Amino acid sequence: MMNAHSVSFATLALLCSTSVLAQTAPSPEARAAATAASMTEDERVILTNGILAIPLIPGMKMPEDAVVGSGYVPGVPRLGVPSLKETDATLGVAWEFGLRKNDDGATALPAGPAIGSTWNPALARKGGEVIGAEARAKGFNVMLAGGVNIIRDPRNGRSFEYISEDPLLSGLIAGEAVAGVQSNHIISTVKHFAFNGQETQRSFVNSLISEKNGRESDLLAFEIAIERGNPGAVMCAYNRVNGPYACDSDWLLNKVLKRDWRYKGFVMSDWGAVPGLHAASNGLDQQSAAMLDKANFFGKPLKDAAAKDPAMAARLKDMNQRILYAIYANGLDTNPSVKGPRNKAAGLATAEAIAKEGIVLLRNEHDVLPLTANARSIVVIGGYADTGVLSGGGSSQVQGEGGPVAAIPVGGDGPMAFLAQEQYHRSNPLRAITTQARGAKVSFQRGNNVGEAADAARKADVAIVFATEWRTEGTDSFDLALPNGQDQLIAAVAEANPNTIVVLETGGPVLMPWLNKTAAVLEAWYPGARGGEAIASILFGQTNPSGHLPLTFPASLDDLPRRTIEGERTNTLAPGGDKPNVEVNADYNIDGSDVGYRWNARKGKTALFPFGHGLTYTSFAYDDLRITGGKRVTATFTVRNTGAREGADVPQLYLVSAVGRKLQKLAGFDKVSLKPGEARKVTITVDPRIIAEWDTDANGWRIGAGSYEFALGASASTLKQAARVRLSAQRLKP
Ligand code: BGC
């Protein structure tokens, strides 16, 4: 047994050893400063610019140690600085058109809104761990992950790469995913900073947003993600913000990110997003894939400018220090990525777990789901359900081993249009349904002949229609309608069979003119590498659905703050398809920070399906909501499983009025797994920035003194219990 003396001795020994460690291991900041100081003038412009690492350009020679991926930045071997080998993206290691030789693909995680629908940051972290480990096994050390732009417009073509319309949910989920990626000694980005709210004319569109509106919405999502995930890099966006380009925005990069948030990492540009050398003075640290811009501004021009101008020389030193800090803080030099096998089974298990928690049961009339043994004949219709599950397109496209099981060209007229294909993953819903159906007769109809599909549905006990909506980077989904006559198909099948279940594979919300005729609707998003299995597991009740919408499904386009997407008429498939010099302003001050459900609350609009909505095969009740004030507002309440099955619930706490002003803001949430009859006390501590308002004059957050009301909801429009608390005035630094 230890006595007091031996304890203090042990403590002393520990203190000595940590102080020895502290002496021998300088901080990443100190190392970065030392390395930057010992660089020659030529070396100072090595880390500041990179190349595209996709051998698509004829005659292009790849550096010897480059891996086919999105980008490459040479290292400085004399100083032991590794090269940066960059790959996309948020949902897995990108496929790069299958150009990597002898490559076995990567785990395709479900789409961002599926991860958002889990409301489970710990699971998002696991997803990040998987994609970081796979990036490492392929020899990459930078992942262009962390898509965290709030989905301000449900038509956004990249909504499938983002998480949600809410800053808190987006920030928490993306932050944990980034932390998971970086746990592999890989730098992760968060992107696209900021207000990259639409793909239409993305290289020209000017996002208009006031400081207050911005700080309380998109910027808050980034701020939370950066705090949680500590990403080594931030990728700035293609669009302009209140005039200047995002990658050239003194406000965004110097003032918000580096001054107010005290961000220590570096800002890398998006690919082909650098307007000129002046971007360096405005806070950009690295020009990515420089051949996509008008010039390699951050190479010789930067060196020459630094030789003449002491301010630019100081800036250049800072640029290097920031990049080096991210390298050292993540151990890219001490734990270099080594090519090796990836753990496919672990990847698939995580992808399946996310899909099972991320699929949302939107509608379930008369408990038609889960399917029981009474369903003796099932017809599966459409959506290539006999082949695979849909994935999203663009730079984030992931594929598993063997590449896509089907790839359907979608055309378009931009220079990159030949790359536009609807790609399907090798996870077969029909096969998974047949396996689960045990004995029932399962047949398939492609769905291209509406009459035949309806006939087959009439003869079956149950009809399951798969409907797909492909989204991609570079273009938006202008009308939110299911394409290719699928609305007519669903309507005809539902007319023929009252037990019609619709499974949606979409990158975001769609309109559902047929909704009232159907028995059930499942939003499976792009469900990833094990999507078919996860869908079948929910249909047959092996998994009790627990997904909740991370964004509003609007009832009509008329309900959106902007009826049309700015520049809609001029857009072609991008990247490269944008038409230059088209003046397009996206006015985000219309909704301001009241995005999605908050817009509906402000305008009294009813959603088709509200934010936070998600059904389950059991039921839950809430009790005893109590709110206490003080420095941190805390809510406690009890959740009880009142049904007959084990399941998980997502109780959501909303701020609904602040000092007499009615509003709605998600203030916190939890994910609680409960056995039938089981109850649990839940405690939620509220981030004060949710309660506060941004005060532009004071450059900080301000909580006004007075009464605040919170409500507990099963969705943004199903508020159950409410409680008030009085708060005193408070000011918070940014
Ligand atoms: C996308 C980025 C991506 C980059 C590299 C750009 O087109 O906007 O998200 O990381 O390409 O592939």
CATH of the domain at 680: 2.60.40.10
Whose Cα sits closest to atom 7 in ligand 1? 271
Residues 710-731 as b/e (b if ≥16 CB within 10 A, e otherwise) read bbbbbbbbebbbebebebeeee
Whose Cα sits closest to atom 2 in ligand 1? 270
Domain end (from 508, 536, 552) = 552
Q: Would you say residue 188 lies in a domain?
A: no
What is the whole-number distance in angstroms between the Cα of residue 192 and the centre of ligand 1?
A: 9
Say if ligand 1 is within 6 A of residue 156 CB. no
- Give SS3 for 520: strand
Within this chain, do residues 363 and 473 fall inside the same structural domain, yes or no?
yes
Q: Would you say residue 60 lies in a domain?
A: no
Whose Cα sits closest to atom 11 in ligand 1? 271
**Strands 718-727 vs 71-73: parallel, antiparallel or unpaired:** unpaired
Q: Which helix (H) or strand (E) holds 601?
A: helix 597-603
Say if ligand 1 is within 6 A of residue 88 CB. yes
Q: Would you say residue 673 lies in a domain?
A: yes
User: Could you tell me which of 641, 637, 616 has the C-alpha nearest to residue 628?
Assistant: 637
CATH code at 535? 3.40.50.1700
**Residue carrying structure tokens 């102080």:** 19
Q: Would you say residue 501 lies in a domain?
A: yes
What interhelical angle do 310-329 and 28-37 show, nearest 10? 140
Residue 462 tokens, joined: 């149950």
Ligand 1 closest atom vs CA 88 = 10
| Residue 700 Cα distances to 214, 688, 733, angstroms | 13, 12, 5
Say if ligand 1 is within 6 A of residue 191 CB. yes
Pocket test residue of 70, 140, 149 for ligand 1, highest count of atoms within 8 A of CB: 70
What is the whole-number distance in angstroms between the Cα of residue 13 and the centre of ligand 1?
A: 50
**165-193: per-residue pLDDT in tens?**
999 999 999 999 999 999 999 999 999 99
Domain count, the chain: 2
| Residue 455 Cα distances to 378, 383, 568, angstroms | 13, 18, 39
Low-confidence ranges of the chain (pLDDT < 50): 1-22, 572-577
Ligand 1 closest atom vs CA 289 = 5
Within this chain, do residues 356 and 434 fall inside the same structural domain, yes or no?
yes
Domain end (from 501, 523, 552) = 552
Within this chain, do residues 525 and 378 fall inside the same structural domain, yes or no?
yes
What is the whole-number distance in angstroms between the Cα of residue 147 and the centre of ligand 1?
A: 10
Q: Would you say residue 574 lies in a domain?
A: no
Say if ligand 1 is within 6 A of residue 270 CB. yes
Residues 35, 39, 43: CA angle, nearest 5 degrees: 125
Residue 338 tokens, joined: 């080594």
Q: Would you say residue 301 lies in a domain?
A: no
According to the model, what pLDDT value does residue 480 have? 97
DSSP state of 697: T
Structural domain for 521, as ranges: 352-552
Q: Would you say residue 598 lies in a domain?
A: no
Pocket test residue of 143, 144, 238 for ligand 1, highest count of atoms within 8 A of CB: 144
Paired residues of 679 in beta bridges:
640
Within this chain, do residues 664 and 548 fall inside the same structural domain, yes or no?
no
Sheet of 441-445, strands arranged across: 360-364, 520-523, 500-506, 462-469, 377-381, 441-445
Determine contact, residues 551/151, Cβ cutoff 8 Å.
Answer: yes
Residue 125 tokens, joined: 């972290």
Say if ligand 1 is within 6 A of residue 199 CB. no
Within this chain, do residues 628 and 539 fall inside the same structural domain, yes or no?
no
Q: Would you say residue 21 lies in a domain?
A: no
CA–CA distance, 164 with 521 (Å, rounded to integer): 20
Determine contact, residues 180/559, Cβ cutoff 8 Å.
Answer: no
According to the model, what pLDDT value does residue 414 have? 60
Say if ligand 1 is within 6 A of residue 166 CB. no
Ligand 1 closest atom vs CA 89 = 10
Bond preceding residue 370 cis, omega within 30 of 0: yes
